[in-house]
Every structure is written in structure tokens, then in C-alpha cells.
Amino acid sequence: MADAYSDRPTEPRLLTAPVADVLETTRIGAYVAWLAENRGLSFPDYRALWQWSVDDLDGFWSSIWDFVGVRAHRPYDAVLRNRVMPGAEWFPGALLNYAEHSLGLPEDADSVAVVAHSQTRQPITLTFGHLTEQVTQASSALRRLGVGRGDRVVAYLPNIPETLVAFLATASLGAVWSSCAPEFGASSIVERFGQVQPKVLLAVPGYVYGDKPISRVTEVAEVRAGLPTLEHVIGVSYGDGQVEDALNWSELLAAEDPSTPLEFEPVPFNHPLYVLFSSGTTGKPKAIVHGHGGMLLEQSKTLLLHYDLGPGDRMLWFSTTAWMMWNVLVATLLTRASIVMIDGNPTYPDVRNQWRLAEQTQPTLMGVSPGYLMASRREGVQPTREFDLSSVRQLGAAGRPLPVEGFEWVHEQFGDHVLLNVGSGGTDVATGIVQGNPWLPVWSGEMSGPSLGVAAAAFDPDGTQVVGELGELVIRQPMPSMPVGFWGDDDGSLYRSAYFDTYPGVWRHGDWIRFNDNGSCVITGRSDATLNRGGVRIGTAEFYRVLDELDEVADSLVIHLEDRHGGNGELILFVVPSAGLTLDHDLRATIRHTLRTSLSPRHVPDLIEGVHAIPHTRTGKKLEVPIKRIFQGAGAADVVKVDALADASALDDYIDLARDRRAAERTA
């Protein structure tokens, strides 16, 4: 496999090393000190701490329980009963409530909890005291509408404070939450929410995206008609118009007494907290159920120990309510830090928008997509020179691989005093599987290592762990945030087939990863999209890393059509030329030369096709597998759910090219 990585040095360049006093100045340091004082444990480095965290699951997760200060209504009988996957039973006997930990302590009442910026209305600021009052009113209002333990409340809402309030109120009652962003079409919403048979729907009539008003009145009516179990529809005033024949959110809250003590329904550790949905691009979206206790412990661990957040800190991370990062964002309140909620076009009026928001809101952790970092680099943005970003201690990045050039650019702009924390996880576990933290170095082009409590590894097809070469990303030990199950999957068969069919008893995540001896790692794309080129498996991210550097290329997608007779097959590259350019002979030659010299001869495509757009999901992932299947002869409607795409018209070129290709083959 060496030729697939001929451009990578044996040892990647060290960008930043942990500061000398890291254990005296960070929350992971406070945790290490707590372990020494309370458990008699000491660790020379992060690697040793991580090894203990996956070897002694009872010791590690009970320490997180105690370090976080879980306020249980009834203690647990054991930490982990049945150390198997699937079927692990965490903290049996315990009763708790996630929402109880999100509203701070009495001393936090006057501290800011939420700063909300929107292109639809003026900014809003809420203290923990204000947030608690609104959650109290919302909880009482939902209870009065008949919402109780186990009922489902769904939201067709953007990333605004009302969404947060409704979520925490739902959780306080022991009801089950699910949300989708209002840019989704009605059929996509019904396909998702219809699975959980909701009692209450919250919705907005519209919103503003950049400078464009967008009405959702028709879509709300269609969603309502497609959900026969609904008993109540609540309209949240936002944008133009109103949700017809609906209760009014503001009026509902105004009718409740905010001084009434807020009660939290005690629920078991695995009681459903919310349902997240997979992208649904190739089939029915999986309705992934996460529990109160798993989310409380896992997200507290990540936010405290990896993101280094606590009272007085603030997270800014652009997300819609359909992406798991929204759940991570609002979980920041568990640490008594504050959050910045952003709704609208993240690059309006220009690519500097998020840096501008960071200057205004002064986060200690700023999260951005790798695509945004690369766009800023391409546009010549100099964030720390153009904006006051002195508050930022960590820059987080997730959602797709960040190329080496992105690491280098961030280091050039921010220097050694800002930790670049690049991570990867997923909706399935609602957290990061591999990511950085202040006690780990940052290597150029590499994620720093596996998260605490996550027994991540790479497996070859035989189930043998490999280091220094590509393999399937697996998790070898249970995690509390693994799903409670899939909604409606009563016998667990869909859940087992999704994660445990390939390696029985081991979670297969679906990413293609390489771990190094030092624990750092590189994810090269989804394993089902990995290219098998003459017996050598190549990650698609390698192509994009190189092509993103070409000014002449705006976007790209690569597929490989296997040869049934064992040959090299056919490598096809689809390219969107930059504005004002066409994919002519010279540009094709430039692309081939660049891929050959930057990567290897195996990376040179057999065919380069020009297209007007690359199909992405609404969370920015490229649709490599569906496009491959279209070129193998499948109908587009059979492999892609159009409503799940950011731009449905992006498929048109591929359908036409595949049809023309088949016609040419028939006449050949």
C-alpha cells in the first residue's frame, strides 16, 4: 500500500506539542489530578490514560460519573452489566434526567448561557436564569397538552433558543425529542418523524437565508397532514407568516408561571432522550435512539476533557438542527459554559462571516467545517489579523477530512497557542471517536488519537488489528453512547446488521482509517466508497485533498467501477471547473499530472467528466456510492432519496452521463 501514500512522510510534521503546564491549566489536567486523589491512579501521558479508559470500563466511566457530579435520583447497581456488543447494559438501577444537568447551578443564574445570532431577527441573549424560566414554562405547557414520559415531541425548527428550550422541556418530562432543519422538504420530514409517531409538532412558518426570505407554510401543512398521530401543532413566530391553525409558542409559555419549581422526571439510564436520523440518501433514514445517561456521560466527557470547556467558556459551532453537532453544541450547557446559536447562511455576506461572528461573541472553542477552513484559505482570509480572535483556545473541525494544507494554514494563522482539534465520529454514537485534546500533540494532516473511553482500532478483512495501514474503523469495547437501538426495530435485527454483521461482537463504523504507532490517525473516507485499484485500496479523501488545491477545480467526486475479470477497473473523476473555466484538454492534463505527481500513477483517472455540481447530503458529504451505483446501471430513484440532497438538480448530469454511456455500450 505504500504507493497509495507515497506523498506522506513516515512521520508527519509536528505542528504543536502540549504546553509544559498542560496538567495545571486544563480540565483534563484537573481530571488526572482528581484520579490521583480519589482513585490512587497516575498516568505518565495521554496514551496511558486512554489505555486505562478502555481496559477498565467500570473504573473509567464511574470516574466520569463522579467527576461530572451526576445528580441521580437513585444510584446505580453496577457500572456495566454484560460487557458485550450489542447488549451492554450501562448503570442499571440508576434514575436520572439529562435536562437537570443542562440548566446550571444556582450560582450560574446570572451567567450567560445562550447568545443567538440569526439572519431572520436581532440577536438574543439568555442567562442560565432566563433559560431555566423558559424551560419551566415550556415544561408546564407541554404537560398541560398531555405530553408525558415516552411521548414524542418533534421540531421542524432552526438553530434558535426556542428549539433549545423545547428540547430541554421535553427531556425534563421524560418525553422523547427529535428535530429536523426547516430546509428539509416535507416528504423528508414525514419519512423521519413518521417513524416515531409524534404527539406534538413545533414548526416555524419561514426563515431568512442570507438575504432571501423562505416560506415554509406549505411544507408545514404537508408535514402535518402526513403525521396522523399528531395531537397538537405549535407555531414558533419566526420569519414571515404564521403556522395556520396552530397554538402559539409565546402565548403557551406566557400562560405558565415561571416561578413554579421545575420538576424532572427520573428515568433509567437508557431511557430514550432523542432520536437522530441518518442521512437517508440511499434508503429509509435510520431512526437512531440515544439515551439520557449515555448522552450525559459521553458528551460531558468530550466537552470537559477534549474540548476543555467549563464555567466562563463558550462554544461557537455552526450547525443545523438536523446534524448531530447541534446535540453536541447544546450539550455544552452540561459543563456550565455558554453557547452561540447561529441560524442562516454561514458564508453570507461573505466567507468571513463566521470569523466575524467569533469576534463579536468571543468563544473559547470555535468549531468550523474543514470546507470552511479551506475556503477561507483559498480566499486569502487572515483570521487573526483581520479579527480579534484572542478568546479562541481551540479550533474544532469535523464533518469531513481536513487535508494537510488545512492543518498548515491554521497553524500559520493561529500559531502554537490555539489547539487545532480535528475529530471524526458520527450520528450513530453522537460524539467523536477520534479527536484531539490539550494533552496530545497535533501532527500535520492527522487526527491526534482515539477519544477517552473509545476502543477505536483499524481491522483488516479478517478482523486482525492493523497499524500503519488502512483498515475498517472499529470500536472493540462498549460505549455508553452507543444507541439504545433503532426506533421500531423491536427485535434489534436492523441494529445488529448495521454495526455487527462484519465483525461479530465488534462495532464496525463504516470509515476507512489508518492508525500510526503514536496513536494519531487519518480517515480517508467511507469504507464502502473506498477504491480498489488493481488490488490496492485507496481512500477517496486523497483525491480531494489534492484537487482542492487546484484553483481551476471548484469541486470533485471520484468513483471506481470494478473489472469483473480482476483488472484495474475504471477510475472516473467528475469535476466542477471553477467559475469562468471549462473542462478542456489542458485542464484534464493538469489534473492528471497533479494526481500522478502528488499521489501515484494509480490515482490517475481513466476518464474525467465535467459536471455542473457535485451531489452532497445536507450535512456536506459527497454521494460517492449512489453515483457509482447509477453508473453500474441502477435507477437514480432506487439509490438516492432526492429530498435528502442539498441540491436535487446535482444528480442530473450523472443520470445523463450514465444513460449515454450505456447507450454507447449497446451500439459498440
pLDDT in tens, 427-457: 999 999 999 999 999 999 999 999 999 999 9
What DSSP designation does 305 have? I
**Neighbour tally for 504: CB within 10 Å:** 9
Section 483-511 average pLDDT: 95
Give the model's pLDDT for residue 592. Answer: 94
**Neighbour tally for 170: CB within 10 Å:** 28
Task: Take residue 211 and report the three cell numbers written for it.
Answer: 438575504
How far apart (Å, rounded) are the C-alpha atoms in residues 644 and 635? 16
Section 533-544 average pLDDT: 74
Domains of the chain: 2-345+423-515 (3.40.50.12780), 525-667 (3.30.300.30)
Give the model's pLDDT for residue 566. Answer: 53
Are the C-beta atoms of residues 306 and 435 closer than 8 Å to each other? yes
pLDDT band at 597 (very low <50, low <70, confident <90, very high): confident
Give the model's pLDDT for residue 468. Answer: 93
Sequence-ordered list of residues with C-beta below 8 angstroms from that of 118, at least 6 positions apart, any chain: 124, 158, 160, 208, 342, 343, 344
DSSP 80-147: EES--TTT-EESTT-EE-GGGGSS--GGGTTSEEEEEEESSS--EEEEHHHHHHHHHHHHHHHHHTT-
Are the C-beta atoms of residues 596 and 636 closer than 8 Å to each other? no
Q: Is the pLDDT of residue 149 over 80?
A: yes
Give the model's pLDDT for residue 601. Answer: 82
Q: Is the pLDDT of residue 458 over 50?
A: yes
pLDDT in tens, 191-231: 999 999 999 999 999 999 999 999 999 999 999 999 999 99
pLDDT band at 299 (very low <50, low <70, confident <90, very high): very high
Helix (H) or strand (E) holding 473: strand 471-475
Instruction: Look at strands 287-291 and 247-248 and give their pairing.
Output: unpaired
How far apart (Å, rounded) are the C-alpha atoms in residues 278 and 568? 33
Give the model's pLDDT for residue 281. Answer: 62
Give the model's pLDDT for residue 73. Answer: 98
Give the model's pLDDT for residue 9. Answer: 42
Q: Is the pLDDT of residue 567 over 70?
A: no
Sequence-ordered list of residues with C-beta below 8 angstroms from that of 279, at least 6 positions apart, any chain: 285, 617, 618, 619, 621, 644
Give the model's pLDDT for residue 424. Answer: 94
Q: Is the pLDDT of residue 625 over 90?
A: no
Give the model's pLDDT for residue 120. Answer: 97
Q: List for the chain the helix, strand, coil content (%; round to 5).
A: 35, 25, 40
Give the model's pLDDT for residue 538. Answer: 75
pLDDT band at 618 (very low <50, low <70, confident <90, very high): confident
Q: Using H for helix, E for strand and C for coil, what is the string for 217-260?
A: HHHHHHHHHCCCCCCEEEECCCCCCCCCCCEEHHHHHHCCCCCC
pLDDT in tens, 329-384: 999 999 999 999 999 999 999 999 999 999 999 999 999 998 899 999 989 999 99
Give the model's pLDDT for residue 524. Answer: 84
Q: Count CA atoms closer than 13 A to 548's CA, side-chain side.
A: 23
Q: Is the pLDDT of residue 162 over 50?
A: yes
The larger pLDDT score, comparing residue 74 to residue 662, is at: 74
Cis bond leading into 349, ω under 30°?
yes
Helix axes 161-172, 128-144, angle to 10 degrees: 60
Instruction: Return the SS3 of 342.
Output: strand
Q: Is the pLDDT of residue 411 over 50?
A: yes
How far apart (Å, rounded) are the C-alpha atoms in residues 512 and 180? 28
How far apart (Å, rounded) are the C-alpha atoms in residues 346 and 203? 22
Cβ-count burial 643-668 (b if 16+ within 10 Å, e if not): bbbeeeebbebbeebbeeeeeeeeee
Section 413-420 average pLDDT: 95
How wide is the angle at C-alpha 538 spanned by C-alphas 532 and 544, nearest 5°? Answer: 130
Instruction: Return the SS3 of 148.
Output: coil
pLDDT band at 403 (very low <50, low <70, confident <90, very high): confident
pLDDT in tens, 37-66: 999 999 999 999 999 999 999 999 999 999
Are the C-beta atoms of residues 479 and 301 closer than 8 Å to each other? no
Average pLDDT, the chain: 92
Give the model's pLDDT for residue 326. Answer: 97
How far apart (Å, rounded) are the C-alpha atoms in residues 303 and 296? 11
Q: Is the pLDDT of residue 29 over 80?
A: yes
How far apart (Å, rounded) are the C-alpha atoms in residues 599 and 551? 18
Q: Is the pLDDT of residue 584 over 70?
A: yes
The larger pLDDT score, comparing residue 16 to residue 546, is at: 16
Q: How far apart are the first and last CA of the chain?
A: 36
pLDDT band at 534 (very low <50, low <70, confident <90, very high): low
Q: Is the pLDDT of residue 503 over 90?
A: yes
Task: Take residue 638 and report the three cell numbers written for it.
Answer: 432506487
Q: Is the pLDDT of residue 10 over 70?
A: no
pLDDT band at 109 (very low <50, low <70, confident <90, very high): very high
Q: Is the pLDDT of residue 666 over 90?
A: no
Q: Is the pLDDT of residue 598 over 90?
A: no
Q: How far is CA 481 from CA 88, 227, 293, in A?
A: 11, 29, 8
DSSP 29-86: HHHHHHHHHHH----SSHHHHHHHHHH-HHHHHHHHHHHHT---SB--S-SEES--TT
What DSSP designation does 492 have? S
Residue ranges with strand state E in 332-449: 338-343, 365-368, 394-397, 419-422, 424-426, 431-434, 442-443
- Percent of the chain at pLDDT exceeding 70: 96
**Neighbour tally for 450: CB within 10 Å:** 24
Cis bond leading into 605, ω under 30°?
no
Give the model's pLDDT for residue 7. Answer: 37
Instruction: Return the SS3 of 122.
Output: coil
Section 606-610 average pLDDT: 94
